[in-house]
Amino acid sequence: MGQFEGKTAVVTGGSSGIGLATAERLAAEGAHVFVTGRRETELQKAVAAIGNATAVAGDVSVAADVDRLYERVRERGNGLDVLFANAGINHLARLDELTEEDHDRIFDINVKGTFLTVQKALPLLNDGASVILTASTSAESGTERFGAYGASKAAVRAYGRTWANELVGRGIRINVISPGPADTPLFDLFGERAEEMKAAIGAALPAKRIADPGEIAAAVLFLASQESSFVYGANLYVDGGMNQI
């Protein structure tokens, strides 16, 4: 039996990258995984790859879409044991280039979406459930053109600390994971230079490479499992040493 046998999990932003890798790992360990994302075609492909999963298309920044996701979870009747609030977007722009529309879209998905995802899960979360939020090393690095993204992920980190304190009475653990550069569709922002940027960024890390999404997923599973039963409100860096050395 897997360590999540009989458990129910939700992964937002689960169509690709870290979300998909985590959903695959949770399902392989016995969980039934509800996966959500904005693109129906990619979502259906992801669920086919995951196996023991249910697709619920939607935008985490839209309250009605989040409600629809949790209605499907409620119908299953087992509550919710693992919540990975992972959905996020980025837009590369310097301060003088960033538009109000792009700024607000980043905060709608990354911050408001995280808030709605966790708040609306509260009635379903079983006592002892684990919630993991996706932040980023960009919250601290000050990387050029990552200003709005970094600020949004700093907000996610702040939410993680506060919510961990507020939900401790139910035995619900909330932790944050801060990935460094990983081989995900976020690199598509660089267009034709994507592979060049992966190599250049990887070479600058102590690990001398960017992460495979499965390496981030392994850390998420640790925080989701009883192996981390004494970990509350933490921010786990999985960054190849980027912000550590």
User: E strand or H helix at 213, and its extent?
Assistant: helix 213-224
Largest distance between two CA atoms of the chain? 54
Contact yes or no for 82/4 (Cβ under 8 A): yes
Please tell me whether residue 236 adopts helix, strand or coil conformation.
Answer: strand
Q: Which residues contact 206 (CB under 8 A, 6 or more apart)?
A: 240, 241, 242, 244, 245
Return the ∠ at Cα 119 (arms to 115 and 125), rounded to 5°: 130
70 is catalytic: no
Measured torsion, CA atoms of residues 57, 34, 66, 137, in degrees rounded to the nearest 10: -100
Contact yes or no for 35/23 (Cβ under 8 A): yes
Q: Which residues contact 147 (CB under 8 A, 6 or more apart)?
A: 93, 94, 95, 98
**Catalytically annotated residue among 70, 149, 159, 237:** 149
Catalytic residues: 149
